[in-house]
Amino acid sequence: MQDISRPTHVDLAASFAESGVQDVLAELDATLIGLAPVKQRIRETAALLLVDQARRQMGLATETPTLHMSFTGNPGTGKTTVALKMASLLHRLGYVRKGHLVTVTRDDLVGQYIGHTAPKTKEVLKKAMGGVLFIDEAYYLYRPENERDYGQEAIEILLQVMENNRDDLVVILAGYGDRMDRFFASNPGFRSRIAHHVEFPDYSDPELLHIARQMLAAQNYALDDAAVAAMTDYIAHRRRQPHFANARSVRNALDRARLRQANRLFDTASGPLDAATLSTITAPDILSSRVFSGGLDVDRLTGQAAAE
């Protein structure tokens, strides 16, 4: 006998509009430059959950889908930011109670002596319940070369909670792609519980320049024309050097450029300064970086920009 209390049809477009998911996706587009494949995966996940809700309304689904995830990519590619947006999306769709994000590393989970790891791990899990637990550089939990390492204890607790509390907690493991592959190979329990693997590509040079200008604009700063050329060169040089961290490296470079600008103004100003002067980053503020060990011609870049 048909259950007349259940709907026979659902309007996915209406459900999408009512959920507020569009707001989260719009925030993601506004916050993060590029990352098209990542944004597409987030939209696909939202579609999966909306269909799952529709199936529940019609009595077709009985289990919560597995939502634990793996984010792989180099530093500074937006993994933590996307995890925060994912927590908000899951909360709006009713898959987590609170929608908060708890970010941890190995040191937050693993103790240094017997009996220390379990309480630390359980306390973190308690804080994360109802939201998303983001474990950065998750592969450091597993150190088989050290017989006295307690990471395996944290792993076993995590695996149990990921299985038994998957309707109240989503775990995202993050780190470099190759290291995460080795980690999953050594810990098949994690691989079997991770349903969604999202790869974060490096930003292109134009995307990093766009990010730089966006970061400065948020603080009421701007690059002049010569500084745009200098920043373009900086990004190309910095990418070829060790420990490049995409947007994180750009942010650090801008912090140092603002420091140089402040010192330049303090040393050279002979009278009152207007808002434009106080808010403009110039080519020398960027080209003084140690990244330019070859010594680029500041005058050439400044003159070229002025001519254009």
Q: Within a domain: residue 77? A: yes
Q: What is residue 299's predicted lDDT score, i.e. its pLDDT?
A: 44
Instruction: Give the closest residue to 82 by CA, choosing from 212, 201, 210, 238.
Output: 201
CATH code for the domain in which residue 156 is found:
3.40.50.300
| DSSP code per residue over 68-84 | -EEEEE-TTSSHHHHHH
Assigned token pair, 88: 């908000």
- Residue 104: count other Cβ atoms within 10 Å of its Cβ: 18
What does the block give as tokens for 178? 């190759």
Burial status of residue 298 (CB atoms within 10 A of its CB: 0-12, 13-18, 19 or more): middle
Residue 109 lies in a domain: yes
Distance, CA of 234 to CA of 236 (rounded, Å)? 6
Is the model's pLDDT at 276 over the cut of 80? yes
* Residue at 5 is within a domain: no
Name the average pLDDT for the chain. Answer: 89
Reported pTM: 0.85
173/40 same-domain check: yes
| Structural domain contains residue 162 | yes
Question: Which of the listed residues 178, 200, 222 is the one where a domain comes to its end?
Answer: 200
Our count of domains for the chain comes to 2
User: pLDDT tens digits for 189-237?
Assistant: 898 899 899 999 999 999 999 999 999 999 999 999 999 999 999 999 9
Claim to verify: residue 26 and residue 100 sit in the same structural domain: yes
Confidence of residue 298 (pLDDT cuts 50, 70, 90): very low
Q: What DSSP string describes 271-287?
A: S---HHHHTEE-HHHHH
Say what the pLDDT of residue 77 is. Answer: 95
Let me know whether 88 and 41 are in one domain.
yes
Q: Are residues 29 and 154 in the same domain?
A: yes
Q: Is 1 inside a domain boundary?
A: no
Give the list of residues 6+ apart from residue 105 with CB closer than 8 angstroms, or none.
135, 136, 137, 140
Residues 240, 154 share a domain:
no
Rounded Cα–Cα distance for residues 160 and 102 (Å): 18
**pLDDT attached to residue 160:** 95
Domain that holds residue 292: 205-307
Of the three residues 200, 230, 248, the one that is the final residue of a domain is 200
